[in-house]
């Protein structure tokens, strides 16, 4: 499962802003609008939308994120409709907003979607009250690209790039890129170069780098720090950053048909979008529906440039099996709100997919199966015991133990892999156990969240100065329990986690399951799932 609870370096899904825009003038929009994003991980983030009349009779708009020191990024598209609907988006960030004016037309209430949808309200503000950034002075000798490799944990390396370049006005700016995670132009909020020692900071990410120039002047050797963790990092000057090499990603021409499809989960009012690949010929063909792991996933289950579900679909379709892979709720072309969805809800989406496949003449309705990865390995059996239309199951790294047991195991394994110290392990373990107990005691989700938040603040407030430094909390303001600790604890009270803690995978066991590589579903179902069957 990818909803890991632990101190992990998180770039994917970091909430940034950026991109271009123009459209017809709507006087209602002209001015400044401020909203607060409350992502499930991390502290709230203010977002400012500024709209001005354009030079050609249209309007132009920019997005600012004062809390991230990110300003003056233009919007890709901006439109309003007669009924008061407002839409704008950023292709670069894969972010979009859709909302409507309230009756007083001093607020625009709607949904901001970036990785997952969040309800927000943009409220009109006086532009004069908006904060502006202090300029970051960047030495000209740094202009160019400086690339390094961050060894986050065993088997996981991430490239980081200090990108110093000029904007359209010729001003020199400094940014951090993470090419392996598709994160570009993360604004550096402070930078200094003195006597060969480079230091820069990203305020919003709580990250900084400090290192010394090498003798040849072509590298800076030092340490990258984030959330109390320190990693050796050498940034070397390079002429270009190489594109991700993913030779396994399917390339055309394809010996099969590929069709973009949509269908409805009518019971939930959700539209699902995906890709159906069909072998050559008339069929009818056996078919498999791929079910993603936890977190908001696209139809290819894209992660760090890898597209495993596309690879799997290509492999199977070339061998005569039709494959349907689908965007999760709130991702890509699918609608719905994943922030309130549980595995039970996603099981309903899968049932709708099975029903859709039965309507296709190219598909043999007696040979429709499910292939689930991670959380999908939990959902697939849930669907199979409800639907006689499911002919077979393939489970890849699906959970075989209760969610609470899996979370304890996963948290411990992540800490071991990352080499976290005893203080971090102890605090994390205490937080986890207390949070689980509070969630069990409070049936109301909001009451549970409030109780967990209060407990986290109280626990962190009792730490010694030495413990706070080891945990990376020494810079926190009073009453702020450290972004990752607080957010991780609060997330355990979410609907998804509450369901995950309550469900028992063995209760959904049925005949016909095929154990996937790397998991122990077969053994767990036969003789009772043990810790070794916890999946990923």
Better-predicted residue by pLDDT, 91 or 481 = 91
Q: Which of 113-127, 164-178, 325-339, 522-536 has the lowest mean pLDDT?
A: 522-536
Strands 58-65 and 23-24: antiparallel
Low-confidence winner among 184-188, 247-251, 271-275, 406-410 (lowest mean pLDDT)? 184-188
CA distance 188 to 191: 7
Average pLDDT on 501-505 reads 86
* Pair type for strands 285-291 and 322-326: parallel
Q: What is the pLDDT of residue 478?
A: 43
pLDDT number for residue 17: 38
Beta bridge partners of 120: 110
Same domain for 274 and 342, yes or no, is yes
pLDDT on residue 480: 45
For residues 230-242, average pLDDT: 92
Q: What are the DSSP E strand ranges found in 57-106?
A: 58-65, 70-74, 77-80, 85-90, 95-101
What is the 8-class DSSP label of residue 182?
A: T
Checking if the pLDDT of 22 tops 80, the result is no
* Closest to 63 in 3D by CA, of 21, 99, 28: 21
Q: State the Cα–Cα distance between residues 135 and 191, nearest whole angstrom.
A: 10
Pairwise pLDDT comparison (376 vs 418), residue with the higher score:
376
Task: Give the pLDDT band (50/70/90) at residue 471.
Answer: low
Average pLDDT over residues 431-454: 86
Same domain? 397 vs 471: no
Shared-domain flag, residues 86 and 174:
no
Examine the domain organization and report whether 374 and 515 are in the same domain.
Answer: yes
pLDDT at 473: 64
Whether residues 391 and 408 share a domain: the answer is: no
CATH number reported for the structural domain that contains residue 177 in this entry? 2.40.128.20
Give me the pLDDT at residue 304, please: 76
Give me the pLDDT at residue 512, please: 42
Could you tell me if 381 and 515 lie in one domain?
yes
How far is the C-alpha of 70 from the C-alpha of 185, rounded, in Å?
10
Judgement on whether residues 302 and 338 belong to the same structural domain of the protein? yes
Total structural domains in the chain? 4
With a cut of 80, say whether residue 152 has pLDDT above it.
Answer: no
| 14 domain residue, yes or no | no
Is pLDDT above 90 for 187? no
Q: What is the mean pLDDT of residues 319-329?
A: 96
Same domain (yes/no): 287, 379: yes
Same domain, 392 and 529: yes
Same domain for 383 and 466, yes or no, is no
Say if 98 falls within a structural domain.
yes
Instruction: Give percent above pLDDT 90 in the chain.
Output: 38
Sorting pLDDT into bands at 50, 70 and 90, what band is 82? Answer: confident
Higher pLDDT among residues 168 and 309, named by residue: 309
In the structure, how many helices (H) and strands (E) does the chain have? 10, 26
pLDDT-derived band of residue 353, with 50, 70 and 90 as boundaries?
very high
Q: Is residue 244 part of a domain?
A: no
Q: Of 129, 161, 183, which residue is a domain's last?
A: 129
pLDDT for residue 470:
67
Q: Would 109 be classed as within a structural domain?
A: yes
What pLDDT is stored for residue 234 in this prediction? 96
- Of 403, 362, 356, give the one whose Cα is nearest residue 500: 403
β-strands 513-515, 390-396 pairing: parallel
Q: Is the pLDDT of residue 1 over 50?
A: no
Supply the pLDDT for residue 79.
85
Is a pLDDT exceeding 60 seen at residue 23?
no
302 shares its domain with 409: no
- pLDDT(535) > 60: no
Phi, psi of 391 (to 5 degrees): -90, -25
488 vs 85: CA distance, rounded Å: 34
Final residue of a structural domain among 129, 152, 179: 129
pLDDT at 204: 67
Residue 40, pLDDT score: 57
Using an 8 Å Cβ cutoff, are 5 and 411 in contact?
A: yes
What angle is formed at CA 501 by the lines to CA 497 and CA 502, rounded to 5 degrees? 120
Residue 218 within any structural domain of the chain = yes
Q: Average pLDDT in the 360-379 region?
A: 96
362-372 mean pLDDT: 97
Residue 452 burial class via C-beta count within 10 angstroms: exposed 0-12, middle 13-18, buried 19 and up: buried
SS (H, E, C) 428-458: HHHHHHHHHHHHHHCCCHHHHHHHHHHHHHH
When pLDDT is cut at 50, 70 and 90, the band that residue 92 belongs to is low
Q: Provide the pLDDT confidence category of residue 340 given band limits of 50, 70 and 90.
A: confident
Q: Tell me, what CATH number does 58's domain have?
A: 2.40.128.120
Q: Is residue 18 part of a domain?
A: no
Q: Residue 257: which pLDDT band, with cuts at 50, 70 and 90?
A: very high
Does the residue 30 lie in any domain? yes
How large is the average pLDDT for residues 222-247? Answer: 87
Task: Identify whether 322 is part of a domain.
Answer: yes
Residues 149-170: b if buried by 16+ CB within 10 A, e if exposed: bbebbeeeebbbbbbbeeeeee
Residue 80, domain extent: 23-129
**Together in a domain, 108 and 65:** yes
Domain boundary among 106, 129, 152: 129
- Residue 411: is its pLDDT beyond 90? no
In this structure, are residues 481 and 215 in contact, taking their beta carbons and an 8 Å threshold? no
Of 46-50, 202-206, 257-261, 441-445, the poorest mean pLDDT is in 202-206
């Amino acid at each position: 499962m990818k909803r890991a609870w632990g101190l992990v370096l998180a770039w994917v899904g970091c909430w940034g802003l950026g991109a271009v825009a123009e459209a017809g003038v709507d006087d209602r929009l002209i001015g400044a609008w401020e909203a607060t994003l409350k992502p499930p991980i991390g502290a709230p983030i203010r977002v400012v939308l500024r709209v001005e009349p354009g030079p050609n009779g249209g309007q132009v708009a920019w997005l600012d994120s004062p809390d991230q020191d990110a300003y003056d990024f233009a919007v890709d598209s901006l439109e309003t409709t007669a009924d008061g609907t407002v839409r704008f988006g950023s292709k670069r960030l894969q972010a979009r907003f859709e909302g409507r004016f309230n009756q007083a037309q001093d607020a625009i209430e709607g949904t901001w979607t970036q990785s997952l949808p969040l309800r927000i309200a943009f409220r009109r503000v006086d532009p004069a009250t908006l904060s502006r950034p202090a300029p970051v002075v960047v030495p000209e000798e740094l202009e160019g690209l400086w690339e390094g490799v961050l060894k986050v944990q065993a088997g996981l390396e991430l490239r980081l790039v200090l990108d110093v370049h000029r904007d359209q006005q010729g001003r020199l700016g400094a940014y951090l890129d993470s090419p392996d995670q598709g994160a570009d132009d993360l604004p550096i909020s402070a930078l200094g170069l003195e006597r060969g020692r480079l230091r820069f900071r990203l305020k919003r990410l709580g990250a900084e780098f400090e290192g010394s120039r090498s003798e040849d002047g072509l590298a800076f050797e030092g340490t990258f720090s984030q959330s109390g963790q320190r990693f050796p990092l050498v940034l070397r000057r390079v002429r270009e950053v190489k594109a991700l090499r993913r030779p396994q990603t399917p390339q055309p021409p394809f010996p099969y048909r590929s069709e973009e499809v949509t269908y409805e989960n009518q019971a939930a009012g959700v539209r699902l979008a995906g890709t159906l690949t069909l072998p050559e010929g008339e069929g009818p063909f056996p078919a498999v529906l791929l079910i993603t792991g936890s977190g908001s996933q696209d139809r290819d289950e894209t992660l760090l440039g890898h597209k495993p579900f596309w690879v799997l679909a290509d492999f199977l379709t070339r061998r005569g099996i039709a494959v349907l892979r689908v965007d999760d709720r709130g991702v890509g072309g699918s609608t719905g709100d994943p922030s309130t969805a549980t595995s039970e809800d996603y099981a309903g989406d899968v049932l709708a997919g099975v029903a859709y496949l039965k309507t296709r003449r190219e598909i043999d309705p007696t040979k429709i199966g499910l292939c689930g990865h991670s959380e999908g390995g939990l959902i697939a059996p849930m669907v199979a015991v409800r639907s006689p239309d499911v002919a077979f199951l393939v489970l890849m790294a699906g959970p075989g133990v209760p969610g609470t047991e899996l979370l304890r195991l996963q948290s411990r394994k992540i800490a071991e892999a990352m080499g976290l110290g005893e203080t971090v392990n102890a605090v994390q373990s205490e937080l986890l156990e207390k949070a689980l107990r509070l969630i069990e005691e409070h049936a109301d989700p909001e009451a549970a969240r409030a109780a967990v938040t209060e407990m986290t603040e109280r626990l962190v407030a009792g730490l010694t100065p030495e413990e706070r430094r080891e945990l990376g909390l020494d810079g926190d303001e009073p009453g702020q329990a450290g972004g990752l600790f607080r957010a991780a604890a609060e997330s355990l009270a979410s609907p998804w986690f509450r369901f995950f803690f309550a469900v028992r995978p063995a209760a959904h066991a049925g005949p016909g399951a095929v154990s996937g590589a790397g998991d122990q579903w077969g053994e767990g179902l036969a003789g009772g799932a043990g810790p070794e069957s916890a999946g990923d």
